[in-house]
Amino acid sequence: MDNQRIATPEIVWALLQEVAQAQKETDKQLKETDKQLKESSIEFDRRMKNSEEELKLWRKDFKQSTIEFDRRMKNLDERMGSWANNHGLYAEEYFFNSFENGKQNFFGEKFDDIEKNVKGINKGCRDEYDILLVNGKSVGIVEIKFKAHKNDIPKILRKAETFRINFPDYQKHKIYLGLATMVFYPELEQECIEHGIAIIKQIGDTVIINDEHLKVF
């Protein structure tokens, strides 16, 4: 009993004071924590608002950039189309004049007439023939390109079929096919040789015709 502490009023009062002080410190810490949470929440909201505004600005800039890109691409397409058309017209005039000035002796024959840009409008077989060379027994069909590609070969071969349908008066005529282009490359020439299409190309100021492999269609 001598070692036990007696709970005197003074001791109880001291303990209550300690509890009150601890509670006061806890309340203070809670208030500080609440303040920090509020500040963090305000900062988070501010940043979110700024992010939304930045996102809106980014979307606006992206939309404007897309519109400008589309405008420039459209302008480029128009310019490229114009460029291609101009070069295509130049190639047509160049080769047509060369044929016309060459007294129309091609494919080992003398042709009586030469026509350009002849259209066949038979339904299902619409086609256009850049140059037609015609005599009493043969027709020469020449496709003109500024820069041809071997993918053009099937279209050229089909012209022999569409021509006879569009112009039945020439059913019994022999048909020769030729490709005239300002730019030839080895693979394209080989395709022409294999399919019996005359190779017509510009070398310097001269038009050269290679028709040793020519096929009658």
Enumerate domains of the chain plus CATH numbers.
103-210 (3.40.1350.10)
Average pLDDT value for residue range 106-116: 84
Amino acid at 122: N
Q: What is the pLDDT of residues 27-59, one digit of tens each?
A: 677 777 777 777 777 877 777 777 777 777 777
Q: What is the pLDDT of residues 140-190, one digit of tens each?
A: 999 988 888 989 999 999 999 999 999 999 999 999 999 998 888 899 999
189: closest CA among 139, 152, 159?
152
The pLDDT value given to residue 88: 55
The model scores a pTM over 0.85: no
